[in-house]
Amino acid sequence: MSKLLEGKTALILGLANKWSIAYAIGQAMAREGAQLILTYQGERLQKTVTDLGAELGASKILCCDVTSDEDIARLTETLKADSVTLDAVVHSIAFANKEDLSRPFLETSRDGYLLAQNVSSYSFVAVCNAVVPLMPNGGSIMTLTYLGSTRVCPNYNVMGVAKAALEASVRYLAYDLGPRNIRVNAISAGPIKTASARGIKDFSAMHELVAAHSPMKRVTDPAEVGDSAVFLASHLGRGVTGNILFVDAGFQIMAM
Ligand code: NAD
Ligand code: IMJ
């Protein structure tokens, strides 16, 4: 059977380790024949991401802290200089202060609020703007979101507000980029035990609650998120833009 992403190049931002959702997406995209370009946040992650990138057969591994306009501009320039054309871009990045994910939301500081918005929401707008010149043939851009954007998930707090802004950004970006045949979507994944989830207060209890109450009576496998990302990046997803695609074993449809 032919591969779904043969001949396509995908840029993936947000791979930190083998538990990262970005890694599962990279595995699925590489399996389907995509050429991968990876970025990592900073020097601390260089070795791990270089090793995992080698496993995935990535052609380039670049440093990009998304809070830095210079880093984002350098990413575009580096890829332009190498005449890279992108067909798919995956933004799999979020950050908030740990204390803002355990104290009452009411007590969120201005700095904490702005940090979460900057890293987890604004960066998606900045990345989209930076990659558009590299997508002359159209393509597919996607980000990762979570149900806490529209429902109250205890402790998700300031991240929920950032994800609400991220999802609204998906819709406005889909409108702006539609005429260029660039689609913009989000995958809303169910809870997955990644580095960003471990150590979160009561995370295991929430994980178990989802397994007990979701229609499929189980949690989300990161490989399922990878396969949905392949769909969005492929010709099969050509009619889908501005959408939030739930990959969560059905949990979001439940009231009780
Ligand atoms: P992760 O910790 O593996 O990934 C988060 C990534 O964000 C890391 O690679 C980190 O380096 C990167 N990052 C943070 N600040 C950055 C910065 N300033 N510049 C560049 N990169 C930066 O955890 P994950 O669970 O794979 O998270 C990936 C995405 O999936 C996030 O947007 C998260 O909100 C979303 N998500 C996670 C879950 C879950 O349960 N794990 C569920 C739904 C959505
Ligand atoms: C995170 C916090 C509270 C509840 C949570 C989560 N639930 C889930 C997550 C129920 C599924 C994981 N998630 C969807 C995230 O987007 C996590 C973002 C995140 C995690 C950390 C932990 C370490 C840190 N800062 C963080 N910033 C963002 O210092």
The verdict on residue 184 lying in a domain is: yes
Residue-level pLDDT at 180: 98
pLDDT exceeds 80 at position 98: yes
Q: Classify residue 2: in a domain, yes or no.
A: no
Active site residue 146: yes
pLDDT higher than 90, residue 200: no
**CA–CA gap between residue 58 and residue 35 (Å, rounded):** 6
CA 24 to ligand 1 centroid distance, Å? 12
Residue 145 Cα to ligand 1 midpoint, Å, equals 10
pLDDT digits (tens, 9 = 90+) for 34-89: 999 999 999 999 999 999 999 999 999 999 999 999 999 999 999 999 999 999 99
Task: Give a yes or no: residue 256 inside a domain.
Answer: no
Token output for 93: 């990045």
Q: Note the ligand closest to the C-alpha atom of 194.
A: 1
Question: Is 238 a member of any domain?
Answer: yes
What's the pTM? 0.99
Q: Which of 23, 113, 146, 172 is catalytic?
A: 146
Q: Could you write out the DSSP letters of every residue in 102-143?
A: TS-GGG--HHHHHHHHIIIIIHHHHHHHHHGGG-TT-EEEEE
CB of 10 closer than 6 angstroms to any ligand 1 atom: no
The range of the structural domain enclosing residue 210 comes to 9-248
Predicted confidence at residue 186, as pLDDT, reads 99
Q: For the stretch 135-147, what's the b/e string if a residue is b when 16 or more beta carbons lie within 10 angstroms of its beta carbon?
A: beeebbbbbbbbb
Return the pLDDT at 198: 83
Residue 3 located in a structural domain: no
For the chain, what is the radius of gyration of the CA atoms? 17
17 near 92, Cβ under 8 Å? no
Which residue's CA is minimally distant from atom 17 of ligand 2?
Answer: 196
Q: In this structure, which residue's CA is closest to atom 5 in ligand 2?
A: 156
Each residue's pLDDT tens digit, 1-31: 799 999 999 999 999 999 999 999 999 999 9
CA angle 225, 22, 14 (to 5 degrees): 140
Identify whether the C-beta of residue 216 lies closer than 8 Å to the C-beta of residue 250: yes
User: Would you say 167 and 186 are in contact if contact means Cβ atoms under 8 Å apart?
Assistant: yes
174 domain residue, yes or no: yes
**pLDDT for residue 87:** 99
CATH number for the domain harbouring residue 142 = 3.40.50.720
Residue 146 is given by DSSP the state -
Atom from ligand 1 closest to the CA of residue 197 = 41
Please indicate whether residue 66, judged by its CB atom, sits closer than 6 Å to ligand 1: yes
Residue 4 within any structural domain of the chain: no
Of 20, 101, 161, the one to substitute when testing ligand 2's pocket (max ligand atoms within 8 A of C-beta) is 101
Q: Is the pLDDT of residue 147 over 80?
A: yes
Residue for token digits 């979701």? 214
DSSP string, 198-217: TTSTTHHHHHHHHHHHSTTS
Q: Which of 64, 86, 85 is nearest to 141 (CA)?
A: 86
**φ, ψ of residue 48 in degrees (nearest 5):** -60, -45
Residue 94 CA to ligand 1 center (angstroms) comes to 5
Residue with tokens 């020097």, as numbered in its chain = 43
Q: What is the pLDDT of residue 127?
A: 99
Pocket lining: 41 vs ligand 1, CB cutoff 6 Å: yes
Is residue 215 one of the residues assigned to a domain? yes
Q: Which atom of ligand 2 is nearest to the CA of 163?
A: 16
Nearest CA to ligand 2 atom 21: 196
> What is the reported pLDDT for 188?
99
> Total domain count for the chain?
1
Compute the distance from residue 237 Cα to the ligand 2 centre, in Å.
Answer: 28
